[in-house]
Amino acid sequence: MRVTDLTKHNSVVRALNTASSELATLQENMSSGKRINRLSDDPIGATQVQDFKTKLSFLDTIKRNIQNNYIMLDRYEDELADMGDMLRTAKTLILAQANGSAGDATREVTATELEAIIDALFEAGNSKIGKLFIFAGTQTLTRPLARNEAVQPALIDVRNADTGFIFAVELDQYEGRFIGHSSNSYILRITKEGPFGRARYEVSDDGGESWGKEHTLLRDNQVVNESGKLDDRVRLLFPGGDQQEPEAPTIFLEGLEFVSPSNPPVGYHGNDDKKFIPTGEGTLLPVNLTAREIFFKNEQDPESIDIFDLLFTLKRSLIENEPKVLEERIDELDRAFNQVLNRRADVGSTRRELELQFDKMGDREFTKTKQMSAIEDLDLPEAVMDLNLAELRNQASLNTGARLIQPSLINFLR
């Protein structure tokens, strides 16, 4: 069979192209260090590599989130440590003033020191990282702690009074103000109709479940249920002089109630929502701490306590020179300290869990990288040998093509 020069030429060109393409591929692999540089190199392997890269990106995101929260947890640790130190100092001060050797002057000075501790705790509860309040739940732009005013208007409830008569009187004449801070809500109910000095009242601090002794209603009244919760020294004051005008006496109807909502010295204005960060596939861990958990009573925990309410009560007792109250409530400082210590333990537990998860993510990242490398990366020694062979084949193809193709006009015309 006769083989024309054009056939030989095409065959040589195809062989040269094949050798050159193989050499170029090997050179690209050597320069990149990868066996797979495009999907066509190994469709199945490329798909597996992309899957590994997605998983590695996810693991890297988790690790960065964990590291970012280390800053906040370290700040929690520092603030809680300072709070514990301040409460220990407060206990030392109160212990020194609860015995009989202390006097008015020393207790007054101690009250000033306790006020400084209260202010420091208040500022610690409003700590920030940058512009974000760290103890406000997820409302990080809201200042979590705020001082409440000691004076609030009395709410008048006429549902239990003589409704047939109550619409004929002006409720403005019953205007009163509750003065003082308390975590309790109070109801002062008129039990005997009459003006100041003759009307009688009783007090409930549990929503009307139980009532204290009867007292005579005056313009200045102590609001306390003697058989109920601790006395917070809340008072109900009515405007006017010491003497009731005889021509226009204010008659308080039986069943009339004056309601004082809870008014603690310091209120919480954040929320209780938790910030969750992923620590694995489908695993979330809460990392934030709120001022409510640190400073305020939890109804689900009988050992919890309102720390600011306690400190304000101790301060008032120091000013009013009441060593008995100091002695009775000093054990509550231990509960307050334990409350802060428990939150500090929670932070330490969260930090330890994050560190364990960070190490676990690092191990998984190493394993995934190793598996991806086995698929994607180039075997360098083998690639060097292949490259040398490809260079030899390419050079041999060029030499052979040069001998087979002797271009001339006569040969081309044949």
Which amino acid is it at 378?
A: L
Q: What is the pLDDT of residue 188?
A: 96
Q: Which amino acid is at 313?
A: T
Query: Could you give the CA distance from residue 114 to residue 223 in angstroms, rounded to a whole number?
Result: 26
Nearest Cα to 310, choosing from 87, 124, 58?
87
Count Cβ atoms within 10 A of the Cβ of residue 318 and give its class: 0-12 exposed, 13-18 middle, 19 or more buried: buried
Domain map (residue ranges) of the chain? 57-145+276-364, 151-263
Domain 57-145+276-364 has CATH 3.40.50.300: no
Its sign, for the CA torsion 401, 404, 408, 414, is: negative
pLDDT averaged over consecutive 10-residue blocks of the chain (414 residues)? Answer: 58 61 57 58 70 82 89 94 96 89 87 95 95 94 94 89 61 88 92 93 93 94 89 86 60 92 92 89 88 93 92 92 87 95 94 91 84 63 57 61 58 54
Identity of the residue numbered 324: K
pLDDT at residue number 339: 96
Q: Looking only at Cα atoms, what is the longest distance across the chain?
A: 144
φ and ψ at residue 214, rounded to 5 degrees? -80, 145
What integer pLDDT is reported at residue 371 of this predicted model?
76
| 63/104 Cα distance (integer angstroms) | 58
Q: What is the pLDDT of residue 102?
A: 80
Cα dist from 365 to 103, 325, 358, 370, 374, whole Å: 67, 60, 10, 9, 14
Residue type, 412: F
- Picking from 48, 35, 38, 104, the residue whose alpha carbon sits closest to that of residue 372 is 48
pLDDT at 237: 95
| pLDDT computed for residue 116 by the predictor | 96
**pLDDT tens-place string over residues 52-103:** 778 888 888 888 988 889 999 999 999 999 999 999 999 999 999 988 778 8
Q: Which residues are CB-neighbours of 383 under 8 A, at least 6 positions away? A: 26, 29, 30
Provide the pLDDT for residue 332: 93
Q: Cα dihedral sign for 158, 162, 168, 170?
A: negative
Give the tokens for residue 101: 């050797």
DSSP per-residue letters across 330-354: THHHHHHHHHHHHHHHHHHHHHHHH
Q: Is the pTM of this model over 0.85?
A: no
| Residues in CB range of 97: below 8 A, 6 or more apart | 106, 107, 110, 318, 323, 326
Phi, psi of 285 (to 5 degrees): -130, 125
- CB distance 210 to 229 below 8 Å: no
Predicted local distance difference test score (pLDDT) of residue 76: 95
Phi-psi map region of 233: left, alpha, beta (phi>0 left; psi -120 to 50 alpha): left
What per-residue confidence (pLDDT) applies to 98? 86
* Distance from C-alpha of 253 to C-alpha of 256, rounded to nearest angstrom: 6
Contact 29, 22 (CB under 8 A): no
Cα–Cα distance between 232 and 229 in angstroms, integer?
9
Residue whose pair of structure tokens reads 């400073």 in the numeric block: 295
Listed in sequence order, the residues at least 6 apart from 360 whose beta carbon sits closer than 8 Å to its beta carbon are 280
The encoded tokens of residue 143 equal 């200042």
Do 397 and 14 contact (CB within 8 A), yes or no? no
